[in-house]
Amino acid sequence: MQRVEYPRMTTPRHHLLASALLAAAIMIAAFAISASAATSLKVTNCNKAAARPKLLTLTCGDGNTVLKNLKWSNFGAPTASAKGTFVTNDCEPNCSEGKDLSYAVTIKAQGHKKCKKGGTVYAKLSITYTGPKKPPPSEPRKWFFPCPA
């Protein structure tokens, strides 16, 4: 029987180098994507940072003023927008006996601040009352957010 010799398979070194560089580039890109996702903008919701919260408490001490049923658009962009309902307790005759007053609103979160514990949050929230029922002029139209505790 005659012995058959097959040509020896070799891979040129430049193919190996190109493959290694491609693999490194893919790993770097994957890391950059995960890092950018981890540092996306959030909004401070009392002691936590949240992305696209449906309920946002504006007065954390007593919980008497909230934004609820929030539907966000452009969250994570330089300006985030949402529609929802502003609910506040009128505290008449006192806060425990007061009634909740609700107003349709659009909100815009903008500006940002880097927090010591990491992460970046929107710095300011502007409220526009859109429904036929409007709150008294003394009701705040702007809220400023600290970093979460």
For the chain (length 149 residues), average pLDDT per consecutive 10? 60 53 49 46 93 95 94 93 95 92 96 91 95 85 90
The pLDDT, as a whole number, for residue 30 is: 46
The count of domains in the chain is: 1
Q: Is residue 9 part of a domain?
A: no
Measured distance CA(121)–CA(11) in Å, rounded:
51
Per the structure, the complete domain to which residue 108 belongs is given by 41-144
In this structure, the strands spanning 48-50 and 56-57 are: unpaired
Q: How many Cβ atoms are within 10 Å of 125's Cβ, its own excluded?
A: 23
Q: Is residue 76 part of a domain?
A: yes
Q: Is residue 140 part of a domain?
A: yes
pTM greater than the 0.75 cutoff: no
- State the DSSP code for 31: H
Q: Is residue 21 part of a domain?
A: no
Q: Is residue 51 part of a domain?
A: yes
Give me 78's structure tokens: 């330089």
Q: Is residue 24 part of a domain?
A: no
CA nearest neighbour of 70 among 56, 60, 80: 56
Measured distance CA(80)–CA(57) in Å, rounded:
17
Q: Is residue 63 part of a domain?
A: yes
CA nearest neighbour of 77 among 128, 121, 127, 41: 41
Q: Is residue 4 part of a domain?
A: no
The pLDDT, as a whole number, for residue 136 is: 83
